[in-house]
Amino acid sequence: NHKPDYRSYQDLFERLDTNQDGKVDVAELRAGLKAMGIFRLGAAQKIVSSGDQNKDGSLDFNEFSKYLKDHEKKLRLTFKSLDRNNDGRIDASEIQQSLAELGMDVSRENALKILQSMDIDGTMMVDWNEWREHFLLHPAQNLEEIMRYWKHSTVLDIGDSLAIPDEFTEEEKSSGGWWKQLVAGAVAGAVSRTGTAPLDRMKVFMQVHSSKTNRISLIGGFKQMIIEGGITSLWRGNGINVLKIAPETAIKFMSYEQGKNIETHKRFMAGSLAGATAQTAIYPMEVLKTRLTLRKTGQYSGMFDCAKKILRKEGVMAFYKGYIPNLVGIIPYAGIDLAVYESLKNAWLSYHAKDSANPGVLVLVACGTISSTCGQLASYPLALVRTRMQAQASLDATDQSSMSTLIKKIIAKDGFFGLYRGILPNFMKVIPAVSISYVVYEYMKTGLGIK
């Protein structure tokens, strides 16, 4: 058990104190951390404010070494709890085990990647010195903090996310942090859906009405809508789209709680099942949304009126039109979304894991956006067929067709790209939707006091 090395603290302090005034301030520390390859948002600020006892906004040598000593104690405890066989070194299987106890399922290769980022001498074991070296100037004090970065963050509502459910740590569950996250996520979704509703209505219109003989352009389409029902008609169908968020979130959370203690490939299944459960329960709302979005001025006086008329005219089954392509669409969407996210994450880790475990918000948001966009590309034809079938009941019963007939019809009439009608407004929606939901989520987090 070695004593902390004051000389190295002294050296470190002198190296950081660039203007030699005997104090290290946030700017000096930030520059110093950067030089050591630690790029962490707010890291310098966090270290200074937790070590600064006389509150002068900087650390003198005593404060600095006291902070490092305390920090080192915490690191030592974490190290000990990880080193299960007490041989003074941490190996990949020990990392895997400990993370499994935190409820995180990490593959052997990812455990090795985490290890690699700390392993200085290339033994694929991390001893105390390497551990200390790696985390001494990282404000992250325990493994949970380190692991929390790379959870597939599903805060972002890309409009029609089929959910792979979120993870909540034990601590968040016991402190009630999880419901705040759900509320923040739901509000963010509501604002972002409302902000991008006109593009969403445009997408539905193109999916249902656009064809070779009846070309709808973006500008032309919006003009038609405004002429038909005024500016506010661009938001038709948004009310129910926002209302849908509450049951979606609740069901997602419940079905996740049931399915969470399972490994990754099974978690994908659980995710798809949770998605499917949620979809089944709220599918009638999806049908209503499509009908309300496509409605002509004065056709329905509101949601309930619409539901009543559909029931009376077409019966209960109308509320499950298009259910099959919808269900089939979940699989390529969720699978590709997860696979792309995992590979982007691994690519990022293999380039940057040496510097820090935290990819930063932008990287996570970008990875999430790219992966779900790829998922959407793959499942788009199914979404289009689903929307068509939901809308169809507005035609006579003789014209209604099954999923396969409909696909054949569309291809015969419009070629393969007929299956991708409306993809332009759909993708135009992605970036504003993600940005709005991210910004709102951040504000909500601050407002609700989520760390």
Q: What is the pLDDT of residue 87?
A: 85
Mean pLDDT of the residues in the chain: 79
Tokens coding 80: 């000990």
End-to-end CA distance of the chain: 35
pLDDT band at 261 (very low <50, low <70, confident <90, very high): low
Rounded to 5 degrees, φ, ψ at 179 are: -70, -30
Which range in 69-78, 226-235, 431-440 is most confidently predicted, on average pLDDT?
226-235
Rounded Cα distance, 15 and 20, in Å: 9
pLDDT tens-digit readout, 165-220: 445 555 556 666 677 777 888 888 899 999 999 999 999 999 998 888 888 899 99
Tokens coding 129: 């010195």
Rounded Cα distance, 251 and 90, in Å: 40
CB 118 within 8 A of CB 143: no
162 has a pLDDT exceeding 50: no
Residue of 332, 316, 238 lying closest to 283 (CA atoms) = 316
- For a pLDDT cut of 70, what percent of the chain falls above it? 76
250 has a pLDDT exceeding 80: no
Please give the radius of gyration of the chain, using alpha carbons only, rounded to the nearest integer.
27
Rounded Cα distance, 192 and 33, in Å: 37
Looking at per-residue pLDDT, the higher value among 161 and 400 belongs to: 400
2 has a pLDDT exceeding 60: no
Instruction: Kindly state the helix (H) or strand (E) to which residue 24 belongs, with its residue range.
Output: strand 23-25
**What DSSP string runs through 34-92?**
HHTT---TTHHHHHHHHH-SS-SSEEEHHHHHHHHHHHHHHHHHHHHHH-TT-SSEE-H
Rounded Cα distance, 262 and 221, in Å: 47
Range with lowest mean pLDDT among 19-33, 137-151, 344-358, 388-402: 137-151
Looking at per-residue pLDDT, the higher value among 154 and 345 belongs to: 345
User: What pTM value is reported for the model?
Assistant: 0.65
Question: Going by C-beta distance under 8 Å and a sequence separation of 6 or more, which residues neighbour residue 221?
Answer: 202, 205, 206
Q: What is the pLDDT of residue 267?
A: 61
Question: Going by C-beta distance under 8 Å and a sequence separation of 6 or more, which residues neighbour residue 171?
Answer: 144, 177
Sign, CA torsion 71/117/263/341: positive
Across the range 220-236, mean pLDDT stands at 94
Kindly tell me the burial class for residue 183, based on how many C-beta atoms sit within 10 Å of its own C-beta (0-12, 13-18, 19 or more): middle
Rounded to 5 degrees, φ, ψ at 37 are: 80, 25
pLDDT band at 268 (very low <50, low <70, confident <90, very high): low
CB 82 within 8 A of CB 143: yes
pLDDT band at 259 (very low <50, low <70, confident <90, very high): low
Rounded Cα distance, 154 and 365, in Å: 9
Rounded Cα distance, 177 and 148, in Å: 14
Distances (CA, A) of 43 to 26, 33, 148, 149, 247: 9, 9, 16, 14, 38
Q: How many residues does this entry show for the chain?
A: 451
Rounded Cα distance, 17 and 6, in Å: 16
Which range in 128-137, 138-147, 326-335, 409-418 is most confidently predicted, on average pLDDT?
409-418
Across the range 317-345, mean pLDDT stands at 85
Cα 69–Cα 70–Cα 74 angle in degrees, nearest 5? 115
Residue of 147, 144, 145, 156 lying closest to 181 (CA atoms) = 156
Rounded Cα distance, 35 and 29, in Å: 10
pLDDT band at 382 (very low <50, low <70, confident <90, very high): very high
Q: What is the pLDDT of residue 264?
A: 56
